Structure 1
Amino acid sequence: MLNRRQLRVKVMQTIYAMSASGSQNIDTQEKFLVKSMNDMEVLYYLLIDLFNQLHKQHQDLQEKSSKKHLASKEELKPNQKFSNNKLVKLITDSLLLAEKMESLKSNFWKNHEEYIRIIYDKMIESQIYQDYVADSTSNFKNDRDFIVKLYSEVIAPDEKLYEFLEDSSLTWLDDLPLVNTFLLKTFRQLKTEETSKELLIKLFRDIEDRDFA
């Protein structure tokens, strides 16, 4: 995930943060650097899992609407385009991704469900979403391109999400541009024949890069 130039940036951020705090303890600086890099990996997976949470929100709301006493024709038979999005399904059905989230022991979104609803509402109100669900085209490329556009133009620039992540972790705000870039690159490279393991990343390319940091 991180090349050596990016590793140098992380090291400089750590040095700056520790200098600003007045700490000269090398062990403390090293632990902060390792935690910062691990937190970057967590952020990457949380942002992927965000689509899992949006999918659940979508399914739950459609199910509730269909059970209303005086449900409309649209509520009884809602548009399933987003529910059946092939890239989102790749994420929601991925056992590897579920295992990774379990290993991180993260209940992040469950503890902050209000932000899922904020992002979900912004998603369905966007013209990008409206154009997507109105289009009858159904293939992996179309679904993938929608997710890439949705993330880059609606989700990533969202100020509420930006402020929330800033409040959640000391380093996430600095890491967000890089993680966004890597996430979008990962999505764009996915093909229909690829499995969800392509969504999984390694923080370091190899042991030498870890030692370099």
Structure 2
Amino acid sequence: MLTRRHIRVKVMQCIYALIQSKDDSLEKQKKFLDVSIEDMYSLYLLLLSLWIEIHQMAENQLNLSSKKYLANASDNLPFKERFVANKVLQQLVNNSQLKEELELRKLNNWYLNEEYVKLIYKDILESDMYLKYMHTSENSYEKDKELILGLFKEIIAPNDKIYDYFEDDKLTWVDDIPIVNTYLLKHFKKVKENSNESFFLPNLVKDDEDMQYAQKLLTKTLLTNDVLEKEIEGKTPNWDKDRIAGIDSILLKMAICELLNFPSIPEKVTINEYLEIAKEYSTPKSSIFINGILDKLTKEYKETGKLNKMGRGLL
């Protein structure tokens, strides 16, 4: 789920937070990094649990409608139980491993903020894809999955109120939401009728090496800050260091640190990754500025033998 680029973003956020708080505690930042990465998985679980709450709301409404004497719009649906019986939703609702993980992390956000569930559920009931689904006699796992994918893509993922709620809950989730949404869509596309419960609980990172990479990048960048600053100053003689954008300075230090301390990552991968991050998080001209400095430094490091790369790159 968590890519190397997103790990770099997480490290950048940690360093930025340290500068803003003027707290030079390395252990505190390492802990912040671990928590920030782990919180991303909680966000993923919350989006899955949102489906469980939506299903519960639909089931409650179905039970109430069966006991009412007065009809409403939903009573005109030919297959009133179809959404509640959706096989993909059933896989989530009956997933004991998922329930255990939600309880372990105490993720009861939707119980405490039911208004968001009602908001999404209302949008679902009014959507054309839901109404079409509820009027279609064809009953298959693929049709059930198609509905869940469509509703997530068109209603849940772009919902501004849900986005604002996540942003208010945890600031780091602002950058995580697009990553998690994209991953969830891809993951739902792969689900099968016979998928086991663990399918919905993937690993947050590919392996321990990714977590080691994250901690090493953060630690090395912070501990060699003065050396990295001199490297940048040497390539920007006409620039006062205070004139370099804060994010640009952080990204440059991280990139230089990676060039010098991670021999298995090709320099082209490092440079391209930080240029892409700069385009998204800094000024319009930042990527050009950063590219110019890194290009000079890479050539210099190759000439002096400081750039020691080996093996296949870890993307």
Q: Which residue of 1 aligns with 2:213?
A: 212
Alignment of 1:132-211 (within 5 A): 132-211=133-212
Alignment of 1:10-29 (within 5 A): 10-29=10-29
Q: Which residue of 2 aligns with 1:74?
A: 75
The answer to whether the 8 Å contact 2:88/2:145 transfers is yes
The answer to whether the 8 Å contact 1:45/1:101 transfers is yes
Q: Distance in 2 between matches of 1:195 and 1:137?
A: 25
Structure 1 residue 68: deviation in Å? 2.1
Asked if residue 39 in structure 1 is aligned to residue 39 in structure 2, the reply is: yes
Q: Distance in 2 between matches of 1:80 and 1:91?
A: 17
Q: Which residue of 2 aligns with 1:54?
A: 54
Q: Distance in 2 between matches of 1:5 and 1:165?
A: 22
Structure 1 residue 66: deviation in Å? 2.1
- Shift of the 155–84 alpha-carbon distance from structure 1 to 2, 3 Å rule, reads same
Show CA shifts across 1:101-121 (max 9, x none). Answer: 111122111111111101110
Letter in 1 for 2:105: L
Structure of larger gyration radius: 2
The answer to whether the 8 Å contact 1:128/1:146 transfers is yes
Show CA shifts across 1:93-134 (max 9, x none). Answer: 111111111111221111111111011101111112112212
Show CA shifts across 1:140-192 (max 9, x none). Answer: 11111111111011111011111111111121111000000111111001112
- Shift of the 61–182 alpha-carbon distance from structure 1 to 2, 3 Å rule, reads same
**Unmatched 5+ stretches in structure 2:** 215-315
Structure 1 residue 38: deviation in Å? 1.1
- Shift of the 77–142 alpha-carbon distance from structure 1 to 2, 3 Å rule, reads closer
Q: Distance in 1 between matches of 2:79 and 2:67?
A: 12
The structure whose RCO (Cα within 8 Å, separation 6+) is larger is 1
Structure 1 residue 65: deviation in Å? 2.2
The answer to whether the 8 Å contact 2:36/2:172 transfers is yes
Asked if residue 130 in structure 1 is aligned to residue 115 in structure 2, the reply is: no
Identity over aligned pairs, percent: 39
Structure 1 residue 71: deviation in Å? 4.2
Please report the TM-score for the alignment, with normalisation by the length of structure 1. Answer: 0.93
The answer to whether the 8 Å contact 1:91/1:97 transfers is yes
**Unmatched 5+ stretches in structure 1:** none
- Shift of the 66–76 alpha-carbon distance from structure 1 to 2, 3 Å rule, reads farther
Q: Distance in 2 between matches of 1:76 and 1:67?
A: 16
